[in-house]
Amino acid sequence: MPKGRTRDETDGAVRVGVRTRSLATDRLRFIRQLGATDVFVDHADTEEEPDEFNDREGADTIAVGRDSIPTVSELEAAKVRLEAEGLSFIGIQSLPYSLYGDIMFDREGADEALEQITTLIRNLGAADVPILGYQWNPRGVVPMRTTPVELRGKAVGTAFDLDEISDPDELAPGLDRAYTEEEFWENYEWFLETVLPVAEEAGVRLALHPVDPPVLESLGGIPRLFRNVENFERAMELVPSDNHGLKLCLGCFSQMGADVHEVLRRFGERDQIVFIHFRDVVGTMPKFHETFVDEGNFDTANVVRTLYDVGYDGVVIPDHVPEMVGDDDWRHRARSFTVGYLRGVVDTVETER
């Protein structure tokens, strides 16, 4: 790192950011005090997220949901607000299921949903907000997690155990039939063919997240397309575009039992990693639990070394974090620990180079 410059000012460095629904001044100042630099704004549909993002401060935000697409002026105002606190508005963390669900199932309302998503992409581009995360996974329709587990010091971590799901083949609520994987691939290709040309024109990168948990080919009658590395390869090749890549969730690939270093090399060397969810788990499918960032299946420092080896110079953000004593809904204490730990590891790895 050049003498006299901070990490925030260093070009080409891995940066540590956060995701937040709330844009309250106290939240933004707290984020900056932690040393984070980049902010992804969470969407408005709180019922679709794990409990740590059911944020009571979330009313002070920009809403992103079905029939709730922020205008260019609203996005620009949020950007100014973030920049006033020393932060960058780097992107929208994810599309809510209410926006993409009809497309995924090819239901009535799909054309309207595509129109709203493309409007969002154009507005992001016009406001110079460069990233839109998304997934192809029906949140809130099948279980994301089962019984939580106790971690060190009686912290609480989320977990998944397939044995706790009584009948994985039982149709999810609201479905009248099971869907085939080929149907889902066809609908997904239609989605990409529609949105990627708009993203290219707008200068916005779309970032695909894995299914979580990456279990089975189908669960509840719903195909789990992005459950393995091979299907991500197919997704990137289906409609090739420099504006399409991965919201690479290390925890999900760790859950799959994949070699996360190989995953980072495979997609990083092609510049297909848009941003990274930095978390880990203990165990792999069909049974795992989430844990602190300094524990888990992989070594944090070695993963950061691999990021530098492949030339990644984007953002890493804490994703799901444990619940620590005294935490608020946003898990501010556990998130603070994670940001600080990641900054320390990133700084240490950079000094090695």
Ordered structural domains, the chain, with CATH = 9-352 (3.20.20.150)
Residue 273's H or E segment, with its range, is strand 273-278
β-sheet bridge partners, residue 282: 289
- Can you tell me which residue has the tokens 């997240």? 209
Give the pLDDT band (50/70/90) at residue 48: low
What span, in angstroms and rounded, lies between the C-alpha atoms of 137 and 103? 11
Question: Among 352, 348, 346, which Cα is nearest to 312's?
Answer: 346
Read out DSSP for 40-92? Answer: EEP-S-GGGS-GGG--GGGGSS---BTTBPPPHHHHHHHHHHHHHTT-EEEEE
- Per-residue DSSP letter, 162: G
- CA distances in angstroms from 231 to 94, 185, 208, listed in the order given: 20, 10, 11
Tokens of 300: 């944090």
Mean per-residue pLDDT over the chain, rounded: 91
Give the pLDDT band (50/70/90) at residue 13: confident
- Per-residue DSSP letter, 107: -
The reported pTM is 0.93
Residue 141's pLDDT is: 55
Tokens of 149: 């587990």
Residue 43's pLDDT is: 83
Give the pLDDT confidence of 291-343 residue by residue, as tens digits. 999 999 999 999 999 999 999 999 999 999 999 999 999 999 999 999 999 99
In the chain the first and final C-alpha atoms are separated, in Å, by 9
Using a pLDDT cut of 90, give the percent of the chain over it. 80
Indicate the SS3 state at residue 125.
helix
Evaluate if residue 58 carries a pLDDT over 70. Answer: no
Tokens of 3: 């003498």
CB 13 within 8 A of CB 313: yes
CB 276 within 8 A of CB 317: yes
Give the pLDDT band (50/70/90) at residue 2: very low
What span, in angstroms and rounded, lies between the C-alpha atoms of 206 and 189? 14
Give the pLDDT band (50/70/90) at residue 55: low
- Per-residue DSSP letter, 213: S
Residue 137's pLDDT is: 85
Tokens of 261: 């270093």
Residue 6's pLDDT is: 46
Evaluate if residue 3 carries a pLDDT over 50. Answer: no
What span, in angstroms and rounded, lies between the C-alpha atoms of 320 and 31? 16
Give the pLDDT confidence of 148-179 residue by residue, as tens digits. 999 999 999 999 999 998 888 888 888 889 99
Average pLDDT over residues 259-281: 97
